Amino acid sequence: MANRIYSTYPMVKYLRKEALPTALCPGCGGGTVLNAFANAIDQLKLDPRDLVVVSGIGCSAWIASPYFLADTLHTTHGRAIAFATGVKVGLPDKKVVVISGDGDLASIGGNHLLHAARRNIDMTVILVNNFIYGMTGGQVAPTTPFGAKTTTSPYRNIEHPLQISETVAAAGASYVARWTTAHVYQLIESIKKALQVKGFSLVEVISQCPVQYGRRNRMKEPAEMLRWFLKNSVPVSKAKNMSPEELEGKFIIGEIINRQRPEFTEELNKLIDEVQEHFGLKGE
């Protein structure tokens, strides 16, 4: 029965069928992100053999590994971007993609995220933000909304969340966009753009976690969280005319930045060529 279901899904050619069904919780947004990524690859007609997909530790790290059919690196906690940097420098012709969660990439690995953006390394990061440490028990995270309840903030969270997309844009990324799992078609288009950018690109995906986050915040059903996303999403163009107080608790969606900057690996290889030429080592 399962095989018949998979055979009707047009993106199944990009998945490791032996790993299905997924281990993701019912209602998790991870499947939506995997579907959007596969559709972006398909629409761009990219050969998965030209991809290296890197993930860290956490629920969202499972999106790429083991489910996406390409060369994948499942790395240590918070170090996905560090590993991806090594891959890009060593194999500059490969298209390097990182898919992982907010806890892995923006908390434990936040330092790597900022400096990869600053260096403008040619990689695409799809950061799945579900506001919480989902796999380890639902603890408060740097992305947890103000006032939300978690296992380690049972009364309410008194910290304001890190604005990931805006921070990465300020650090120097070439392309940054944010969407929710309720904006699937827009998400696919942004992933396609990110994959074609020369430089560091980030697509932040606000995603539902009904098991760890939703049930503690009066949204036990996945559909309730999706409605919450839609109700509180504000386009970038509209957000520019709103005050910080008006934007409290809202999700600013759309393209945050899209610009051209010198790319790290190209500049590194230029430097290597210059040094070799200076010392008469060119061609050796």
Q: What tens digit of pLDDT does each residue of 239-275 get? A: 999 999 999 999 999 999 999 999 999 999 999 999 9
Superfamily for domain range 28-236+244-279 = Thiamin diphosphate (ThDP)-binding fold, Pyr/PP domains (3.40.50.970)
Statement: residue 282 has pLDDT above 90: no
pLDDT tens per residue across span 134-176: 999 999 999 999 999 999 999 999 999 999 999 999 999 999 9
Residue 187: pLDDT band with limits 50, 70, 90: very high
pLDDT tens per residue across span 1-60: 455 656 789 999 999 999 999 999 999 999 999 999 999 999 999 999 999 999 999 999
Statement: residue 208 has pLDDT above 70: yes
Rounded to whole angstroms, the Cα distance separating 168 from 147 reads 24
Statement: residue 223 has pLDDT above 80: yes
Sign of the CA dihedral with 201 first, then 118, 238, and 204 last: positive
Sign of the CA dihedral with 61 first, then 104, 31, and 252 last: negative
**Mean pLDDT value across the chain:** 95
Task: Supply the DSSP string of 192-244, one letter for each residue.
Answer: HHHHH-SSEEEEEEE---TTTTGGGTT--SHHHHHHHHHHHEEEHHHHTTS-H
